[in-house]
Structure 1
Amino acid sequence: MDFFSNSITTLEQALNYSALKQKVIANNIANVDTPNYKAQDVSFQKLLESSKSNQLSAYRTDRRHFPFPNENTLSSAIFSRPSSYNENGNSVDMDKEMSDLASNQIYYNAMAELISGKFSSLNTVIKGGK
């Protein structure tokens, strides 16, 4: 039995996607001067497809913890962009990364507002409309 509706689960996956994308963008920005570094991106479609097949979502924060069957779900959504912008083989375009960073922040805020609204509605129902 699912405690939450599919919309909350989908919003949760959207927040996970946005958090992962934030990490990837930050990694790209940190490696802007690294020779032969290939910029990475995240595919929401791959993340959503891989999460639908797994019921339990978990992330191991320490290598000593027990492994989970879907631990590689997030890493399977990351891919490298093949183009090269700089003479040193680096493919990080700072203008694109900063633009992606801003749009990802807007996306994250929108998803957080939506899921907050869902929980607020549940809270109203639990309290009996008070």
Structure 2
Amino acid sequence: MLGKLDDHLRFNETALSLRSTRQSVLASNIANADTPNYKARDIDFSSALQAALDVNKGGPLTTTAPKHYPLPPQGAGTTADGTPLQYRGVVQGAVDGNTVDMDVERNQFADNALRYEAGVNFINSQIKGLLSVIQGGQ
């Protein structure tokens, strides 16, 4: 029974987790707007979501020995949860080598926050629907 509930909510749970990760990446870009040679980064949301859902289908990956690489793989090109980071294309170059365009970052930040809020509202409506079914539509 719980497995079916998990499956029912997994897509939105995964999407919200990725939205949260993306919000952190965008906030980091904004925070480093004046850092020389900082390169703006972002997440390809659709491919990251697809990859996360594919991993969830096969079950969680685990390491069996202390010398195994952490799963998901971590490094400079990934977030802590293994989501690959990509460099954002240069919109307007800067003399100090910084590629952060504050207009683009603010726009992406607001768009991502709005989509996160929509995801939360959608999960709330899913849970309310489930509760209604459980309670017999009272």
Give the TM-score category using the shorter length. Answer: 0.7 to 0.9
Please tell me the residue identity of whatever aligns with 1:53.
D
Please tell me the residue identity of whatever aligns with 2:129.
S
Give the Cα–Cα distance (whole angstroms) in 2 for the partners of residues 119 and 25 of structure 1.
29
Any idea what SS the aligned residue of 2:4 has?
coil
Change in 2 beyond 3 A, CA 1:57/1:108: farther
Which residue number corresponds to residue 49 of structure 2?
48
- Percent identity between matched residues is 33
Give the Cα–Cα distance (whole angstroms) in 1 for the partners of residues 115 and 97 of structure 2.
31
Following superposition, the deviation at residue 118 of structure 1 comes to: 0.3
Following superposition, the deviation at residue 43 of structure 1 comes to: 1.0
How many residues of Structure 1 are paired with residues of Structure 2 in the alignment? 122
Deviation string, structure 1 residues 42-98 (Cα, Å, up to 9, x no partner): 11122123212323569xxxxxxxx96336584333211242621100000001111
Give the Cα–Cα distance (whole angstroms) in 2 for the partners of residues 36 and 115 of structure 1.
40
Which residue number corresponds to residue 65 of structure 2?
none
Pairwise CA RMSD: 2.5
Which residue number corresponds to residue 79 of structure 1?
86
Uncovered stretches (5+) of structure 1, i.e. residues with no partner: 59-66
Give the conservation status (yes or no) of the 8 Å contact 1:47–1:76.
yes
Give the Cα–Cα distance (whole angstroms) in 2 for the partners of residues 18 and 95 of structure 1.
20
Which residue number corresponds to residue 71 of structure 2?
69
1:128 is aligned to 2:136:
yes
Give the Cα–Cα distance (whole angstroms) in 2 for the partners of residues 31 and 41 of structure 1.
13
TM-score (norm 1): 0.79
Give the Cα–Cα distance (whole angstroms) in 1 for the partners of residues 118 and 9 of structure 2.
14
Any idea what SS the aligned residue of 1:129 has?
coil
Please tell me the residue identity of whatever aligns with 1:96.
V
Uncovered stretches (5+) of structure 2, i.e. residues with no partner: 62-68
Please tell me the residue identity of whatever aligns with 1:98.
R
Give the Cα–Cα distance (whole angstroms) in 2 for the partners of residues 22 and 8 of structure 1.
21
Which residue number corresponds to residue 17 of structure 2?
16
